[in-house]
């Protein structure tokens, strides 16, 4: 009987800007985390596109990917994701074609359909579009794949330079059934954002696997699940660190996003009962605790979702505590 292959562990980085810090500080922290991730054996490292968020520094996602790729040597880097409706597909093909030319076999393009911002910011991002409501996402994804998969002798009238024929891996990301269905139809790998929107996780995974149509890119479904992990040497320390993320979600729900708050000993005076319920629902796919608790949490997640890969997010205020959390997460995963 063959031994079951270990499930790869990867990193999602929102390049958080803690209170009192700058975007430059966040970039340096991301580089330290990427370099540690490479040493520890994390499979891939993705950055997320968000706009008009004073607590998140990864708005220019492809630029930041290039910075981290230059500071590492083997780690896979990519977007988790680029919000494709904010951009012309040709520009994204050129950006990721450039990255893939500079760092061959190390670049992933994860694509999302959400704006990654509020309505007013979305309008500012999409001024070039005459119809803000038109959903061209499936066609735009297909166009990117046609460019990336073009044969050597193909010369389309419009082509990304570089980018044409580079076979850059494309993923669809989602927190609902839409992207699960589209990824299945197009034969692409799928990543579910259960770290902030867990409600449809199991339904989306089932739909993706049941509906999957093999493609030239992928012969069978490949599903990645993203969760929050906050690990520390003690359960008490981990729960203390986790309060930064809880506060961040309260602020987001109040329409007051800002820098990542410092952790607090007690949340009771900071949220109402309804806010507490909402935040706990949104963050229900979070593994918080010491290494034994994280090991148990990851094992349960893998068993319940049958995920092909787990991606770990961790919004932690203190840089050293954040690095330690990812280190403990990998130790826990390796001991499964």
Domain extent listing, the chain: 9-123+136-334
Q: Which of 21, 22, 164, 140 has its CA nearest to residue 81?
A: 140
d(Cα 159, Cα 93) in Å, to the nearest integer? 9
Q: With 90 as the cut, is the pLDDT of residue 320 above it?
A: yes
Least confident of 113-127, 171-185, 274-288: 113-127
pLDDT > 70: what percent of the chain? 94
pLDDT of residue 218: 98
Question: For the chain, where are the E strands, in sequence order?
Answer: 9-13, 44-47, 76-83, 107-112, 170-174, 190-192, 223-231, 286-289, 309-313
SS3 at position 11: strand
Query: β-strand 170-174 against 223-231: which pairing, if any?
Result: unpaired
pTM (2 decimals)? 0.95
Q: Which of 292, 288, 336 has its CA nearest to residue 315?
A: 288
**pLDDT, tens digit (0-9, with 9 covering 90-100), for 69-121:** 999 999 999 999 999 999 999 999 999 999 999 999 999 999 999 765 567 77
d(Cα 21, Cα 33) in Å, to the nearest integer? 17
pLDDT of residue 2: 46
> Are 174 and 192 spatial neighbours (Cβ–Cβ below 8 Å)?
yes
**pLDDT, tens digit (0-9, with 9 covering 90-100), for 39-80:** 999 999 999 999 999 999 999 999 999 999 999 999 999 999
Q: With 70 as the cut, is the pLDDT of residue 128 above it?
A: no
pLDDT of residue 130: 55
> Are 51 and 257 spatial neighbours (Cβ–Cβ below 8 Å)?
no
Domain 9-123+136-334: CATH class, spelled out = alpha beta
Q: With 50 as the cut, is the pLDDT of residue 220 above it?
A: yes
Q: With 70 as the cut, is the pLDDT of residue 4 above it?
A: no
């Amino acid at each position: 009987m063959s031994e079951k292959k270990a499930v790869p562990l990867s990193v999602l980085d929102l390049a958080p800007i803690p209170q009192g810090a700058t975007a430059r500080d966040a970039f340096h922290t991301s580089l330290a985390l990427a370099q540690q991730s490479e040493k520890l054996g994390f499979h891939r490292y993705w950055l997320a596109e968000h706009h008009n968020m004073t607590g998140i520094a990864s708005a220019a996602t492809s630029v930041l990917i290039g910075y981290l790729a230059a500071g590492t040597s083997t780690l896979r880097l990519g977007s988790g994701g680029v919000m494709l409706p904010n951009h012309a597909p040709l520009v994204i093909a050129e950006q990721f074609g450039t990255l893939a030319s500079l760092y061959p076999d190390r670049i992933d393009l994860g694509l999302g359909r959400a704006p990654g911002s509020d309505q007013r910011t979305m309008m500012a991002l999409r001024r070039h579009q005459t119809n803000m409501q038109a959903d061209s996402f499936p066609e735009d994804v297909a166009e990117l794949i046609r460019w990336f998969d073009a044969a050597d002798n193909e010369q389309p009238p419009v082509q990304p330079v570089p980018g044409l024929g580079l076979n850059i891996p494309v993923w669809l990301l989602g927190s609902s059934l839409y992207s699960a269905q589209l990824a299945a139809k197009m034969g692409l790998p799928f990543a579910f954002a259960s770290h902030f929107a867990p409600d449809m996780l199991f339904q989306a995974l089932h739909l993706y696997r049941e509906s999957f149509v093999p493609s030239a890119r992928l012969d069978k479904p490949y599903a990645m699940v993203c969760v929050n992990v906050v690990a520390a040497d003690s359960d008490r320390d981990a729960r203390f660190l986790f309060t930064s993320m809880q506060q961040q979600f309260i602020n987001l729900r109040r329409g007051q996003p800002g820098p990542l708050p410092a952790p607090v000993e007690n949340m009771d005076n900071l949220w109402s009962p309804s806010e507490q319920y909402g935040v706990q629902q949104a963050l229900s796919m979070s593994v918080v605790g010491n290494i034994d608790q994280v090991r148990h949490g990851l094992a349960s997640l893998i068993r319940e979702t049958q995920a092909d890969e787990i991606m770990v997010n961790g919004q932690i205020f203190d840089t050293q505590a954040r690095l330690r959390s990812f280190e403990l997460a990998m130790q826990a995963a390796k001991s499964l």
